């Protein structure tokens, strides 16, 4: 089935076309989500949601980009929504702990942070990289993940994120500077 036929059949909600579409692209979509959220359960959910978004909005697909690029763009947006939701949960947890009134459990944000830092020192390098990636700004995180973890080309990532190749290069340069700094601190502490 070529792309044009597939799009027509998806628009008419043909089940065989949906099956073909999912089977063809689910591996790549799952890879993008897994290498963004580092958690296979969340990656499964995000993969499903990405396909459901694509199927719900197939009638708005205007064929300016390829079907693949359009699907990956939807997947990236789903991942961004996920990390924003995670940030909101963390903020809420911090606020909740500030207003904790139990005397037996005093406000422990600083203690928790110190403990987390000690734990980080003991983590493997890959875990440290994950934590460092999670601290990157959204756009840098997205560019880094797509290029270095999902192994897309610069041109493909530029199409997915709808920016120029130069913009991708700039994002990566900044991302890598930050990550090198964080890993350097990790290696000094471990060499200690």
Partner 1 sequence: MKTPDDLLKQAIDDLNSELNQVNTPDLTNRIISRARNQSNSNQSIITLKRFAIAAAILLSVLNGTVVWSTMSETNDQNQTSELETVYQNSSDWSTLLTLNEN
Helix (H) or strand (E) holding 180, with range, is: helix 165-191
Does 6 bind partner 1 (CB under 8 A)? Our answer is no
15 in Cβ contact with 57 (< 8 Å):
no
Q: How far is the C-alpha of 171 from the C-alpha of 142, rounded, in Å?
A: 9
Segment interacting with partner 1, rule: CB under 8 A, options 72-80, 81-89, 119-127, 135-143 = 119-127
CB of 94 to partner 1, least distance (A): 27
Query: 159 to 178, contacts with partner 1 by CB under 8 A?
Result: 176
Does 184 bind partner 1 (CB under 8 A)? Our answer is yes
Does 68 bind partner 1 (CB under 8 A)? Our answer is no
Name which position in 4, 5, 27, 173 contacts partner 1 (CB under 8 A): 27
Name which position in 6, 42, 53, 55 contacts partner 1 (CB under 8 A): 55
How far, rounded to the nearest angstrom, does the alpha carbon of residue 185 sit from its chain's CA centroid? 24
CB of 40 to partner 1, least distance (A): 5
Q: How far is the C-alpha of 105 from the C-alpha of 97, rounded, in Å?
A: 10
> Which one, 77 or 190, has the nearer CB to partner 1?
190
Segment interacting with partner 1, rule: CB under 8 A, options 25-33, 80-88, 105-113, 161-169 = 25-33
Instruction: Give the largest CA-CA distance in the chain.
Output: 66
How far, rounded to the nearest angstrom, does the alpha carbon of residue 155 sit from its chain's CA centroid? 19
Query: 121 to 150, contacts with partner 1 by CB under 8 A?
Result: 124-126, 128-130, 148-149
Residue among 184, 161, 162, 179 nearest 79 (CA): 161
Q: How far is the C-alpha of 82 from the C-alpha of 76, rounded, in Å?
A: 10
SS3 106: coil
CB of 120 to partner 1, least distance (A): 13
Q: How far is the C-alpha of 147 from the C-alpha of 29, rounded, in Å?
A: 14
Query: Which residues are near partner 1 by CB under 8 A?
Result: 13, 15, 18-19, 22-23, 26-27, 30-31, 34-35, 38, 40, 43-44, 47-48, 51-52, 55-56, 124-126, 128-130, 148-149, 176, 179-181, 183-184, 187, 191
């Amino acid at each position: 089935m070529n792309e044009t036929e597939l799009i027509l059949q998806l628009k008419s909600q043909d089940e065989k076309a949906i099956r073909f579409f999912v089977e063809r692209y689910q591996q790549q979509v799952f890879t993008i989500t897994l290498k963004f959220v580092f958690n296979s359960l969340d990656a499964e959910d995000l993969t499903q949601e990405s396909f459901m978004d694509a199927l719900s909005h197939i009638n708005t697909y205007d064929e300016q980009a390829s079907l693949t690029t359009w699907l990956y763009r939807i997947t990236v947006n789903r991942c961004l929504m996920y990390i924003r939701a995670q940030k909101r949960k963390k903020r809420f947890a911090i606020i909740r702990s500030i207003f904790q009134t139990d005397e037996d459990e005093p406000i422990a944000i600083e203690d928790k942070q110190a403990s987390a830092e000690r734990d980080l020192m003991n983590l493997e390098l890959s875990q440290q990289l994950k934590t460092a990636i999670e601290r990157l700004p959204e756009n840098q995180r997205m560019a880094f993940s797509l290029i270095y973890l999902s192994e897309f080309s610069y041109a493909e990532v530029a199409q997915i994120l709808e920016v120029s190749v130069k913009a991708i290069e700039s994002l990566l340069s900044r991302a890598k500077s930050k990550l090198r700094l964080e890993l350097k601190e990790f290696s000094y502490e471990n060499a200690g």
